Amino acid sequence: MTAGFHTLGCKVNQYDTQIMKELLLSSGYQIVGEEMQPDVFIVNSCSVTGKSDSKTRQLLSKLRKKLPHSILILTGCMPQAFPAETALLDTADIILSNASNDEIVSLIDEFLRTKTKIIQIKSHEKEKINNKITNFDDRTKAFLKIEDGCNRFCSYCIIPYARGRVRSKPLSEIFTEINELSLKGYKEVVLIGINLSAYGTDMGYTLADAVETACSVDGIRRVRLGSIEPDQLNDTIIERMAAENKLCPQFHLSLQSGCDKTLRDMNRHYDTAFYDTLVQKLREKFKDASITTDIMVGFPGETEEDFNESLGFVKKVGFARAHIFPYSKRNGTKAADFKNQVQDSVKNRRSKEMIELTNRSKTDFLKNQLHKTYPVLIENNKKPGQFEGYTPNYTHVKIQSDTNLSGSIVNVFVTAVDGDSLTGEKKDG
């Protein structure tokens, strides 16, 4: 039997897909591409916006025509968040929630026996997460889910309904999983979660405990953090993380807005003063730290004055990179019913202004790294003699070499800025 995958959405979904791949592989399946007309094809969906759901539906319709004889499976956040609506889809043979992914093999077997559509959407349990991966395709770094779920209930967000409450992976299992990845040759692990900074709150631990555990694994050269919520980072956690030399100085701190009124309407759990102080602490404790973020524009009720306040704060912080996106109404959330919804034309204009501002700060950040030397983990060579990789602060670097450098960490002297990347020369020693 053969199986194929299409993963939508975040890095947590990528990890969940890897879990399913390994379950199928251990049951004798071969993982192949869509063009090979696999016997089974799994779509791991994202449901962060209404557009995400539309994309999933369109993909399923396309696959149903392209793979008429395949067993189509829909899983992920869309069935979990909207079970009634998803159950009505006639393009999938098996519909399961991400809480049921570990049963994928038995559900396929059941369908093969009965030839009857299966819908299994169950709620997330409150117990710890205990699944693990042993590989991560052909990448030089592996994503490792150590936390799932969210208790925050931001007014615009459906994810707590799609992922359940906070659940953490025990430290002993984190160590075992990372150690196995290290033995496979991985040099970098990225700790990820739906609300990563909430790691351990259900078990009496903090994110610092997970970082220290990951850094203690021999063979792992780098530990990186996925997106984190700012309000759950305190001085003690920062001090402990700063003591770990393997921890990369890159922090994706979700801002969403630089306007305090908008943050309150979003039900975010911090204000701009807290966020600004946190950024200063991180830059003080971590050399060459890059602070990246997500910024939403056009949230319901955001006035021109509010937007300008957000612009001013974003300019003050000076982000290394920022993902800018317009607010999208999400059915099932409180914000979908808010009055004073912002017109699309206004949201598009504000997006453009915010992107222009953050592009300038990105360029400034890149220029500040000129004529410095950084260890770069080489991930690939897309062109003959040209290799690409990332610095500890996750800046993309390109270098020329006649020697195959893939998978190695080399010292690079930065010589120029090339668009969103740096170029440099390999230094010996």
- Which CATH number do you get for residue 399? 2.40.50.140
- CATH code (residue 28): 3.40.50.12160
Q: Which amino acid is at 236?
A: T
Q: What is the pLDDT of residue 381?
A: 77
Q: Is the residue at 253 inside a domain?
A: yes
Q: Is the residue at 363 inside a domain?
A: no
Q: Are residues 289 and 340 in the same domain?
A: yes
Q: Is the residue at 379 inside a domain?
A: yes
| Least confident segment among 62-76, 134-148, 231-245, 339-353 | 134-148
In whole angstroms, what is the distance from residue 133 CA to residue 25 CA?
12
Provide the β-strand partners of residue 219: none
Q: Are residues 233 and 105 in the same domain?
A: no
Q: What is the pLDDT of residue 133?
A: 87
Q: Is the residue at 388 inside a domain?
A: yes
Q: Is the residue at 366 inside a domain?
A: no
Q: What is the pLDDT of residue 138?
A: 62
In whole angstroms, what is the distance from residue 208 CA to residue 214 CA?
10
The residue among 124 and 230 whose pLDDT is bigger is: 230
Q: Are residues 231 and 328 in the same domain?
A: yes
pLDDT category at 316 given cuts 50, 70, 90 is very high
Q: Are residues 389 and 326 in the same domain?
A: no
- Whether residue 50 is predicted with pLDDT greater than 70 in this model: the reply is yes
- Whether residue 130 is predicted with pLDDT greater than 80 in this model: the reply is no
Q: What is the pLDDT of residue 127?
A: 63
Q: Is the residue at 367 inside a domain?
A: no
Q: Is the residue at 36 inside a domain?
A: yes
pLDDT digit string, tens, across residues 66-109: 999 999 999 999 999 999 999 999 999 999 988 889 999 999 99
Domain finish residue from 358, 381, 412: 358
Q: Are residues 342 and 401 in the same domain?
A: no
- Whether residue 280 is predicted with pLDDT greater than 90 in this model: the reply is yes
Q: Is the residue at 134 inside a domain?
A: no
- In degrees and rounded to multiples of 5, residue 307 shows phi and psi of -65, -45
- Whether residue 125 is predicted with pLDDT greater than 80 in this model: the reply is no
Q: How remote is the C-alpha of 62 from its chain's centroid?
A: 26
pLDDT digit string, tens, across residues 158-182: 999 999 999 999 999 999 999 999 9
| Least confident segment among 129-133, 139-143, 273-277 | 129-133
Q: What is the pLDDT of residue 99?
A: 86
- Whether residue 126 is predicted with pLDDT greater than 80 in this model: the reply is no
What string of H, E and C letters represents the secondary structure of 222-257? EEEECCECHHHCCHHHHHHHHCCCCECCEEEECCEC
Q: Are residues 209 and 286 in the same domain?
A: yes
Q: What is the pLDDT of residue 87?
A: 92
Task: Tell me how many domains the chain contains.
Answer: 3
Q: What is the pLDDT of residue 49?
A: 83
Please state at what angle helix 11-26 crosses helix 104-114, rounded to 10 degrees: 60
Range of the domain at 16: 2-120
Q: Are residues 31 and 106 in the same domain?
A: yes
Q: Which ranges in 35-92 belong to alpha helices (H)?
A: 50-66, 77-81, 83-87
